[in-house]
Every structure is written in structure tokens, then in C-alpha cells.
């Protein structure tokens, strides 16, 4: 069905891996600076998800080692169940690649295409090319099934779904006016970072949350095609945002 050899598949994967790992390094640097003023001043910027912590980086590195060592079943489990659900686009691509080539799973090009479509939603050209090459050789029935499978994945793991959950968490935190570890009270509240042990004032902490929520709302406005979306972190209608996301993820927009 897919007019490439196993060598073509392998070469494509290596090319994408190289390109995406370089891009991931940039993303990690941006993600950790997400709360700094002005990071997203120009447009919506890179994907404003959660910062990639050291544990996730180790998992990403380890799963690549497992794949290269031929531990395909373990690699597939990690790509599919640990990394793809948190929005790792390379992992989503790799799940699709493994279904396309039948590595550790039953070969299923149509299911592979659904994962490729999910991986391509940030418009990285490498993923767009792989998606388009696969879709163009499908029959009408294949495309219908691909649409159905893609919508299922999209409603679970799309960027807008993941960001919505993060926004809801941060809005609840802003409303509560407290963090998980606080000392002091009133205007002198101090927030202690459980990982680093460093502390910042409550004003700084909640200011950071507002900035990252605004960045996420702006990114969502672009992804949803809704320039009218309210991106004021202090005045978000969560019920309306959830409705918009439900409608968006129930619609095919990539072909």
C-alpha cells in the first residue's frame, strides 16, 4: 500500500529523529523559560506545554536506546503509554512508524496514519511529509477509517486537549490563591519550589502562572482558528473553552 521499502522507512525515521531532537533541545530551553516576561511576545511561539523535566528526558533517551537495541516491545510500550499521551510528537510519530512497519505490533498502515496525523498537528514539515505520503495512497475506505481513528486519538491527546487540562489546573490554582507549599501570609506569602528548594514571592508566582496561561490561550486560539478567543488569564470562560475544544477535536481539519 505504501510505496516505500523498509530502507526508505528507516531512512525517513533517522532523518526525522535527527531533525526533531535538534528541535526538542530548543523546545526544552523555551519551555523552562515559559514563565519569563515576553517569551511569547512575537505571535504564539513554540508549543507552550509543560516543561520537559529531567525524568522525561531520561525516558526519551532510554526509549531510543531500547529501540536501537532491538527491544521493540518495550520501546513501543513507552512511546505509546508514557510519551505519546503527554504530547511528545516524536513519540507519536514512532508509534505510527511501528504500526506502519509492523515492528512489535501487527502491521496497520491506516492506524499508523492516525498517529502520523496526530504527530503532524504542530505542522513540523517532517511529520507533514510522512503523513501526506501515506494518506495519498489510501482508498476511500482507508481514509474513512483513518479519520475515525485519528479523531479518537485527537480527542485524547491533541495539543488543545492537553493545554486545556493545564489551563484548568492553573486557573484553579489562581482562584485558590495558594500553592502546594506556602509559608507566610497575606502580601508576604512565599512559594517554595519543591524541586529546587528556591523561593519566590506569591506575587511573582501567580504572575508566572498568568503569563503561561496567557501563552497557552494564545497558542490555542491559533490552533483552533479562533482569533476572537478570550486570552485573558483572569477572565477565562472554561465551559465555553471546553465546548470549543470538543467541537474542534470532533472535526477533521487536516485534509
Domain boundaries, the chain: 6-157, 159-249
The 10s digit of each residue's pLDDT in 118-134 is 999 999 898 999 999 99
What integer pLDDT is reported at residue 204 of this predicted model?
84
71 confidence band (pLDDT: 50, 70, 90): very high
What integer pLDDT is reported at residue 96 of this predicted model?
97
**Above 90 in pLDDT, residue 249?**
yes
What integer pLDDT is reported at residue 180 of this predicted model?
42
48 confidence band (pLDDT: 50, 70, 90): confident
The residues, any chain, with a CB within 8 Å of residue 41's CB and separated by 6 or more, are none
Which of 239, 238, 232, 237 has the alpha carbon at shortest distance from 218?
Answer: 232
The 10s digit of each residue's pLDDT in 171-218 is 998 888 644 443 344 445 666 665 556 777 878 888 889 999 999 999
Q: What is the mean pLDDT of the chain?
A: 82
The 10s digit of each residue's pLDDT in 130-164 is 999 999 999 999 999 999 999 999 999 999 999 99
What integer pLDDT is reported at residue 9 of this predicted model?
67
Average the pLDDT over each of 27-41, 49-63, 186-200 and give the range with the smallest value: 27-41
Amino acid at each position: 500500500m505504501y510505496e516505500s521499502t523498509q530502507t526508505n522507512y528507516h531512512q525517513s525515521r533517522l532523518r526525522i529523529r535527527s531533525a526533531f531532537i535538534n528541535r526538542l533541545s530548543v523546545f526544552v530551553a523555551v519551555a523552562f523559560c515559559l514563565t519569563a516576561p515576553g517569551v511569547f511576545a512575537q505571535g504564539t511561539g513554540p508549543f507552550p506545554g509543560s516543561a520537559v523535566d529531567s525524568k522525561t528526558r531520561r525516558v526519551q533517551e532510554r526509549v531510543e536506546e531500547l529501540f536501537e537495541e532491538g527491544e521493540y516491545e518495550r520501546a513501543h510500550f513507552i512511546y505509546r503509554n508514557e510519551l505519546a499521551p503527554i504530547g511528545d510528537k516524536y513519540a507519536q510519530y514512532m508509534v505510527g512508524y511501528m504500526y506502519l512497519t509492523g515492528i512489535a505490533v501487527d502491521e496497520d498502515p491506516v492506524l499508523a496514519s492516525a498517529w502520523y496525523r496526530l504527530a503532524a498537528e504542530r505542522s513540523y514539515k517532517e511529520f507533514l511529509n510522512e503523513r501526506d505520503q501515506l494518506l495519498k495512497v489510501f482508498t476511500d475506505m482507508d481514509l474513512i477509517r483513518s479519520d475515525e481513528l485519528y479523531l479518537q486519538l485527537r480527542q485524547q491527546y491533541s495539543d488543545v486537549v492537553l493545554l486545556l487540562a493545564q489551563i484548568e489546573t492553573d486557573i484553579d490554582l489562581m482562584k485558590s490563591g495558594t500553592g502546594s507549599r506556602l509559608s507566610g501570609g497575606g502580601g508576604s506569602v512565599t512559594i517554595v519550589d519543591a524541586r529546587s528548594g528556591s523561593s519566590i514571592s506569591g506575587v511573582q508566582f501567580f504572575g508566572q502562572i498568568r503569563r503561561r496561561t496567557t501563552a497557552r490561550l494564545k497558542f490555542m486560539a491559533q490552533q483552533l482558528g479562533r482569533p476572537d478567543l478570550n486570552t485573558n488569564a483572569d477572565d477565562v470562560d472554561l465551559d465555553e473553552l471546553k465546548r470549543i475544544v470538543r467541537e474542534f477535536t470532533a472535526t477533521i481539519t487536516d485534509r
